[in-house]
Amino acid sequence: MFNVIGTGSKGNCFTFGNLMIDLGLPYDRIKNYLGDVTYILLTHRHNDHLNLTTLRKVIANTNATFVCGWWLKEYLPNDKVKIVEAGRNYELDDYRISPVIAYHDAPNFGYRIMKDGHKHFHITDTATLDGITARGYDSASIECNHCEIRARELIQEAKEKGEFTHLEGAMNSHLSVQKAIDFCRTNGIKNLIPVHVGESTKSEVLKALRIWDENLK
């Protein structure tokens, strides 16, 4: 039911049935998915999650309602936006959603999404999942940005060479694969869909996910 159109630092966009999540890709990449979309859930302002050129074209070419936090209201027409708050439940036709706060360097939401008894949890661009639960959810699309162990090694290597690495900032504002797996283990979620995987430690992230999958069998 959850579909990844594109994910990563170059752009993010997903669908869950008739819902679309984020508009961080060029319009040509997503236009063929818009036909059945009735609601578009937005998370935060960063360009890889909200491409303003794409947004303008979507506004002009669909009747979808945009669902977001107050920080994105200025980019949307009043007759096409529904402002939501963390911790509250909202009915969107056959869907029920509940926004959760994501801890990033900009105001940001994740979303609990429920339809026909299926419970899905989605979150990217957050330093932590502390205080958030999704017990017994059927599936989850969670940021697995980096491997903590390899990231620390690369940061140390860069410091010894007097070089800069973006990984230090990433560790303070993005979620590691270890934290994503721990969250799923604690909440009994067996279907983890990794999103927003960074390139620097990608092989280590994928290895951790393979081990996780094998242990579930």
Measured from the Cβ of residue 33, the count of other Cβ atoms closer than 10 Å reads 15
Section 89-105 average pLDDT:
97
| Of 9-23, 100-114, 150-164, the least confident | 150-164
Contact residues for 52 (Cβ-Cβ < 8 A; gap 6+): 75
Section 61-75 average pLDDT:
97
Section 89-98 average pLDDT:
98
Residues 15-32: tens digit of each pLDDT: 999 999 999 999 999 999
Query: Phi and psi (nearest 5°) for 84?
Result: -120, 165
- What are the distances in angstroms from CA 133 to CA 27, 40, 128, 147? 33, 23, 12, 22
Q: Looking at residue 8, what is its pLDDT?
A: 94
Q: Looking at residue 122, what is its pLDDT?
A: 98
Q: Looking at residue 52, what is its pLDDT?
A: 98
Contact residues for 149 (Cβ-Cβ < 8 A; gap 6+): 204
Q: Looking at residue 207, what is its pLDDT?
A: 97
Q: Looking at residue 23, what is its pLDDT?
A: 98
Q: Looking at residue 158, what is its pLDDT?
A: 87
* CATH classification code of 2-216: 3.60.15.10
> Among positive and negative, which fits the CA dihedral 76, 80, 83, 89?
negative
Q: Looking at residue 165, what is its pLDDT?
A: 85
Amino acid at 191: N
Contact residues for 154 (Cβ-Cβ < 8 A; gap 6+): 165, 167, 200, 201
Section 69-91 average pLDDT:
97
Contact 120, 101 (CB under 8 A): no
- What are the distances in angstroms from CA 159 to CA 57, 198, 200? 44, 20, 16
Share of the chain above pLDDT 70, in %: 100
Q: Looking at residue 171, what is its pLDDT?
A: 86
Section 81-109 average pLDDT:
97
Contact residues for 144 (Cβ-Cβ < 8 A; gap 6+): 175, 176, 177, 180, 194, 195, 196, 197, 205, 208, 209
What does the domain layout of the chain look like in residue ranges?
2-216
